[in-house]
Amino acid sequence: RWLFDQAVCTLYAFCGVLFGLCSLASLTVLSTVCCLKVCYPAYGTCWHGYLILTHTPLCQQSPSSFNEPDPPPQGKLCLRATYSHYGPEPYGTACCITWQPSSREATLYILALLIFCYLLPCLLILVSYTLILWTVWVSRKAVRQH
């Protein structure tokens, strides 16, 4: 069972969601930069700095985000996991977002979190590495012909 109080549970779950989103965002930016460097070398140089600069604010969280249930500001839906409440996981050994929505807004938040913070970054990573493999395959084929 969870050994600590609700405040520690909230902090634990908040940190888990925040660091998980930042990790996936970092992997997404990394795959995009690699794709630009390999597939579009002329554009990769100018986009590299832009992607790094825009990625840095993704992992910053306002102190008010521990309050429940403040709606996230527009454009920062993936960054604040406060629309849903935090609580123990089904086995009771750790804490996370309560995935059973208690309202329409919580349902929309969970769906937006799934789509924009998980599926979309995973799709972008998949497309980036597919383009890299395609570029390497085409260039290898061109080298073999010469």
The number of domains in the chain is 1
Q: Would you say the pTM of this structure is higher than 0.85?
A: no
Q: Residue 44 falls within a domain, yes or no?
A: no
CA–CA distance from 92 to each of 27, 32, 83, 106, 140 (Å)? 30, 38, 21, 21, 52
Which residue range(s) make up the domain with 5? 1-16+102-145
What residue type is assigned to position 59 of the chain?
Answer: C
In 3D, which of 64, 38, 62, 36 has the Cα closest to residue 51? Answer: 36
Q: Residue 43 falls within a domain, yes or no?
A: no
Q: Using one digit for the tens of pLDDT, what is the confidence trace for 55-99?
A: 555 444 443 344 344 444 444 444 344 456 788 888 888 888 887
Q: Residue 38 falls within a domain, yes or no?
A: no
Q: Residue 93 falls within a domain, yes or no?
A: no
Q: Residue 32 falls within a domain, yes or no?
A: no
Q: Using one digit for the tens of pLDDT, what is the confidence trace for 104-143?
A: 877 888 888 889 999 999 999 999 999 999 999 999 999 9
| Phi, psi for residue 44 in degrees, rounded to 5 | -60, -35
